[in-house]
Structure 1
């Protein structure tokens, strides 16, 4: 069971190990699995999960910028990346991966975009950290830890050149 931690106690590498074990157990025996990461932190996690689960040929990346319901309010980020899905989405079990689950709006946007590529048999959600405060009824199937973040701050996943992860408050 994921634990609730203070943001200063979040060791991203340790949390990744917890998430990997949960995903391995949860996907055991599931056929036609593909992993899709949400740019950017979710994409980094998805790449590593795909490598660790031997699913590198079933890896996709989404940038949900144009699918967000607050696009007009937030505007376009300078680092928009193209979506890359090189496998058949229709009928697949998709493991959707994000770094931090918060309001649920990014997850909703990602699901909307996935359906433009086909109708999956099932979508499962994995998040490294769930910080609560949902605005939409979204829950992760796999989550390594829960935390609360002070108002006005964000929890940010960073990836070093070596591939290791860190979480910081910003």
Structure 2
């Protein structure tokens, strides 16, 4: 039987090869933190982390994730023990209605790893060096996650706080 690890627990993948990762997570596994927004990969509300990379779960078939490690918002802190990112979102009012917030936080968590790994983005000046963590860089990296309420400046402020609190390690250093 094909399985995938979701938030640290192995689950059998659905038998229907047409089932999206989003629908499997929400409807079959009851992980409703991942939201169905546009269902076309344009809004980012369904963002989850698969093997360390953020993806739009509405565009991916569940059966394609055999053996993968999938993280949803449910694995990033809890109401009793918020993650650093979640605390920063609260402090900076990085949400209003909250519908996009799970996808925003999953995307932000993956963004932090991308920065730590020295990945470039479309606005990185010199792709051969560690990217400068400017507001422009953060906005570009979060551009796949839309917020209908317009909390973008607050989201960027939350990311800046978390980044400022992280130890500075050169990309590629162990």
TM superposition score normalised by structure 2 = 0.26
**More contact order relative to length (CA 8 Å, sep ≥ 6):** 1
Higher helix share: 2
Instruction: Please state which structure has a larger fraction of its residues in strand.
Output: 1
* TM-score computed with the length of structure 1 as normaliser: 0.26
Please identify the structure whose Cα radius of gyration is greater: 2
